[in-house]
Structure formats: structure tokens, C-alpha cells
Structure 1
């Protein structure tokens, strides 16, 4: 008894773990999706177990299709299944869909389920997900960069980079700040005042629309450089800047943009070209000194492996709620580490994406940065979930509560614009 008292915290954890693992019946009994009309691209997923634990997941884009696929294909696999068997479920769901092609909707839905299963496991064991993964490699927190979008950005399908978002009064209007007539230098100063030392902008996108990204003039290059000049004139090199390209450009104009940016010392070129042809992306990489980042659009580790084999990028980006969930993105991060590369976790999406990403980013030894959108974290994320995402000294901590550490607020579920679809 004395020894048990001395090691009480560890013994208690082992006791709960043993009880959980030895339960003869652990099963999923409820599946439902949740959608809020103002955030039209985001679908939340809740899985309920026979013990009353609710696991939360999320994915992005085509919410009606997401609900239909989860209901038709994944719910029959989930109901009465053991939520502890995450890897086995992932493989079963993946194999059920790969013969039809599964790099889009199917992978997004599997991602949402996977995150919810990890949330259940952590809550059952009384531990945050980052501990279940093997602890933290980043005890001081995960370095973040701010994607300079505004409130409302990307919330209405189709809503892509060429559309100026409508920012609600009193919210951060970071997108408008680096548009023509704005002041990207003051935007950078505002971010630095919050402790954020890296930002991402996409000032060349609008020039790709006229000719499908086949050419860009020197006059357009100069116009696209204006926010870069403003940042460097205002804060010098205190702010790291990432270029987002959204995959709009062909090889020749991509090279021209990369060359023009070099005097302004961009820290990364992200998706300047589509990542679907690693060979041509490798040509871009060989022509610039700026590191190439690719890409959450690859959707799984098999596509990432092709990118790495082609020597087409310097940093890997993945999205936990697009590209296979925690289970798959952990393998993607490990693959990047094996190739001596860093990994960035994408979030221009929703609060569950950010929470799940932070758990994996805290764990991975090769985490480079975590993407955030302060207009979201200080805006609608606070409306919907019960966990505040706080930046301190340029870093953000993973949630400390068991499981995901984030839940939808009960009052959010009572909103008039909330639609709940029960699938079981």
C-alpha cells in the first residue's frame, strides 16, 4: 500500500488505462454532423460511445456531401465498433474507398472521424492526445504564423483567394490590410505586437485570373511586391513572410515571381504551382534559393512520398482534417523527418482543425510552424468552442484537457443557424 501511495498519479493512470483496455464492450452508439450556416464550409462531427463520451471531429468543404458520405458509408462501419481500434478503422475505411478514388471527399470524412476517435481515446484514458502520441517535443509551445485573412474569409462556397472577404465590424481585417491601398507594414507591426513573428500573404493571385496563370508582366510583379516593400520598410527583417500561391501559376511565371521576391527574403514559397506534378515543381525548386513548401492538397502520405522522391520541396505541409486525420498526418510528419525536412500544419479552417493540429505539432520533433488565422482564433472560434487559442511569445500550446481538449459550446448548439443531422 505504501508503494502505491508513493506513485499514486502513475498508478491511477495505469489503473484507468487497464480498466479501459479490459472493458469487454466499448462501442460507438451515436453519429451526428453539425453545421452552422455562417460557416458554410465547415462540418463538425460528434461520435458518442456507450459510456456517454463524445468525440469531436471536423472537416472542410461541401458540408452536405460530407454528411451524406459519413451517413451512407462510414456510419455503418462506426456503429457498434470499438473506438479504441483507431488504426484498424482507418485502414478499413481507406480500403473500402480507394478502389473508387479517395483523395477528396472520402479522405476529408475519414479525417473527421479519425480526430473524433482520438478525442474519445484521450477522454477515456484521461490524457490529452499529445501525451498519447508520446509526449511533447515542443514544451515551450508550437511556433505559429498568421495567415492574413479576415473574418468571413473562405466561409461561403465557392470562396477562394481572389475574393475579398467581408470583415465584420470590430474584427481583424488582415486581408484588406495588404491589398492595394492598405498598409502591410502596419499589419506586420500589429502582428509583432501580439508576439506573432511570421505572416502569409498572396498578392500575386489576382494576376493569374486573366490567363490561367500562364504569364505575369513585370508591372504586375512590381504591384505584387508592394506589400513586401511595406513590411520591410516598416519592421525590417523582424517579420518572416510566406508567399501563398494557391497553385495558380505555371512554371515560367512561378520562376519570375520567385526571382523577384528574393531581395525581400521570403521564408517560404507555398503552392506557387499545383503539387500534382512533382517533376515540374522540382524544376521550380532548383531555380530558386527560397525554400518550397508543399502541400496539404496532396491529401495522403503516398502523394507526399512522390513529392519527396522527386526532390520537389523543402518543407512538407499537411492538414489534419483534410489529409487523413491524426493517424495519417503523424505518418506524413514522420516521413518528412526521415527526409530531414520540417512539417507545417495547415489551418485556415476551423477550431477542431487547429486543436488537433496543435496536438500533433506539439509531439512531432520536426514541427516547423503551425498556421493560424487570428481573425478566426479571436473571432468565430471563440463563439463555437470552449477553448481559447492564445499566442504567447510567438507560440501556441496544445490543449491540456483530456482528448482533444476542445468541445462545442452548448449555447452554440442552440443557435438558430445550427443544423444537426443524426446519422445513426
Structure 2
């Protein structure tokens, strides 16, 4: 079963998303996905990746993973690693279909069926544009279509009602990022007491209303220098955080270690970093309470397994990032089912109940605050034929 074709799909409606279909000489297909700068990743897939992998065995995923290690761009979530990730996910999906087994079984078997979720409180239009990480790309809307969730507007304007609606769904953990506006105003160099008070207010309001029923996490997006991050984290310490994520830019592991020396809260990082070697320098500090990886950025499921095993050697749990698309979410749930030290899964309910079902045939079921894998072999989903044929969908194919 050799790799015979790679087909990419982009969407004008979701310009940061890229989907990749692998087709084998036996007619088996597999589906992968990645996020951000989709046109650049598409170009790399067809100009650089396809000539390497055409004709290789689609079953020998580890060999393909080794052959596709880039000469440059081999650290952090580069274009090269994002393309490699999408391909790797697609190969695992194809192997599952070929063997008639779910990916989680191929990864070693399931340790757990259900994984608790936490909700990242984005809205339906979050990060649709090219300026990922900027507040102008938050896509804030006060009201979406019926059945949609505008949770970013919610945490900025009515955090208590937002938390209550999550609890009503059985979701008892949420993550918000009200500090980003203050960070942009000073390039992360200073936060005034006024801005600090304003940013911690949503956390305080939720804690006052619901006590410990809702677990709170703070996302700082790596936007602050070390002294200001310490001020913010110590203020959050007083409220009680499940974790504080990316408190400083992920370029200085010793800065993370220094910060942890003066902060009680658990520190989590770093979906944007890349693979196992990239994470090791941060794990070496002993400062991490949670390693967050993105299966669509780190090198796919093959690399995610290495990352989890490495973190396990440091007695550190891992979690899979999901603020991109439905295929990576499904791959992440399969990964968590088969990984001892993966105990929680991120979801964005605004995406899950908003646009995910417009792209794929099935979603990982969410019920009572937990998630599991779709039924069926592989990842348990396909791209909808309607999506492939839409006017705003751009496809490109490379064949052997």
C-alpha cells in the first residue's frame, strides 16, 4: 500500500485551515489537517513533501516520518512541521481504514474511553484572518446564529452567565484571556493596576458566583515580559487557577523556571513550540505542570507519542490543543484515549457546535463534560462531499 496522491483543500470561509487527503495505490484514503498560513503549507506539501513521499509505503508511518524531517524548519510549529503533521495524521487514518481499526487502538489501545473537556472561550469567528494572536482577529460578536456560542464576547461582558451555561452542559473547566488587550497597549512591557484589576475581574466574578464548581485557567499567549507576567500570575494565584498558560514568550526556558519560583499556580505551555526535542529544554527546567501540544503542528500523531513519552519520563501530564479544526480534534481524542498521561481535552464549543459539522461527516461525541472518538475505523470521519465541491473550496492534487 504505497502513497499515490496527495490532495489539499483550502476554504475561503476558513482561510487558515488546510486539509490533506492521502490516497494509496490500493484506493485507501486518509485525512489530515493543519492550521495557519494555509497557502504556504499547501505550497510546501506539493513542491517539497510530495516528491519525497510518493511511492513510499503508507503503512510504514515511522519511516515516512523520518524521511520527511525537514532540513530547516525542524523546530517550533513551522510550515514544514505543519505540513508533516497533516500528512502523518492522514497516514494514521489510512492505516486505520486499511486494518478496520480506530486510530486509538493502533496507538496501543485505549486506557480510557471518555476524556474530560475544558472549553476555550472563543467565538465562532475567532482567528479567521491572517493576524493570528492579535486582538483585531478575535472576531468578537455579541450574538451569532441560533445554536452558536459567542463565548469570547461572553467572558468579556458577562462571564458569570457564560460559566453558568457551561456548567449546564456538564463542562466544569474553562479558559479565558482578558489580558491580551493590555498586553498589546504596551507591547507586554507594563500592566497598570487599573488594567490588572479589569483583567482579573472576570475570574473573580466567576469564582464569586460558582466557587470551586468551575475550574478556571488563564491564557496569556506569551505576550508579557517576565516581571509583568509575575505580577499577573501572582494576582491570579489569589483567585485559584487550574493552570496559567504561556505566561511568557516560549523562547526562554530559564525565564519559565524563574517565574515558577515565585508563582503557586500550575504553569502550562506550549503548543507553538513543536516536537519532542523542542519540548525537552522546557521539561528540563522542572517548571511545567502541563505540556500542551498540537497534533496538527508538532509533527502529527507519531511525534505526539514521542512528546507524551518524554513528558511521562518527567512525571508531567500532556494535553492536546484544539483551537483549529475537527480533524485535529478527532486525532487528539484518539491520542488521549491511548496515552496514560493525557487526562484532559480542549474544545472550543463555538467551533464544535458552529462550523465543524459543515466540514466533516462525524464529530467526536461530547456529553456531560466528556468527549470520546467517533465510531468507525481510522479517525472516524471524512470530508463532506459537499464541502469538497463548494464554490469557496480550493483543491490541488499531486500524483505519483
State whether TM-score is above 0.5.
Answer: yes
Please say if residues 344 and 367 of structure 1, whose CA atoms lie closer than 8 Å, have aligned partners that are also in contact. yes
Alpha-carbon offset, residue 286 of structure 1 = 1.2
Match of 1:289 among 264, 282, 287: 264
Deviations 1:326-375 (A, max 9, x none): 00011101111111111110010000110100110111111131110000
Paired with 2:31 and 2:191, the residues of 1 have a C-alpha distance of 44
Alpha-carbon offset, residue 99 of structure 1 = 4.6
Paired with 2:134 and 2:218, the residues of 1 have a C-alpha distance of 13
Paired with 2:42 and 2:72, the residues of 1 have a C-alpha distance of 21
Which has more helix, going by share of residues?
Answer: 1
Residue in structure 2 matched with residue 39 of structure 1 by the alignment: 14
Match of 2:155 among 166, 178, 193: 178
Give 3-state SS (helix, strand or coil) of 1:178's partner: helix
Match of 2:28 among 45, 53, 74: 53
Relative to the length of structure 1, the TM-score reads: 0.91
Give 3-state SS (helix, strand or coil) of 1:357's partner: helix
Paired with 2:276 and 2:11, the residues of 1 have a C-alpha distance of 31
Paired with 1:158 and 1:28, the residues of 2 have a C-alpha distance of 34
Q: Does 1:132 align with 2:109?
A: no
Aligned length: 394
Task: Give the 5 Å matches for 1:164-243.
Answer: 164-167=138-141, 168-170=144-146, 171-179=148-156, 182-243=157-218
Paired with 1:312 and 1:383, the residues of 2 have a C-alpha distance of 40
Paired with 1:327 and 1:101, the residues of 2 have a C-alpha distance of 15
Paired with 1:134 and 1:99, the residues of 2 have a C-alpha distance of 31
Alpha-carbon offset, residue 161 of structure 1 = 4.6
Q: Does 1:148 align with 2:117?
A: no
Alpha-carbon offset, residue 67 of structure 1 = 0.9
Q: Does 1:109 align with 2:80?
A: no
Give 3-state SS (helix, strand or coil) of 1:389's partner: coil
Please say if residues 153 and 159 of structure 1, whose CA atoms lie closer than 8 Å, have aligned partners that are also in contact. no
Paired with 2:110 and 2:202, the residues of 1 have a C-alpha distance of 36
Q: Which has the larger radius of gyration?
A: 1
Q: Any unmatched runs of 5+ in structure 2?
A: none
Aligned CA RMSD, in angstroms, stands at 1.3
Please say if residues 27 and 82 of structure 1, whose CA atoms lie closer than 8 Å, have aligned partners that are also in contact. yes
Deviations 1:114-157 (A, max 9, x none): 00000111100000000011111112x11110000000101111
Paired with 1:68 and 1:312, the residues of 2 have a C-alpha distance of 38
- Shift >3 Å, 4+ stretches: 99-103
Q: Does 1:310 align with 2:310?
A: no
Q: Any unmatched runs of 5+ in structure 1?
A: 1-25
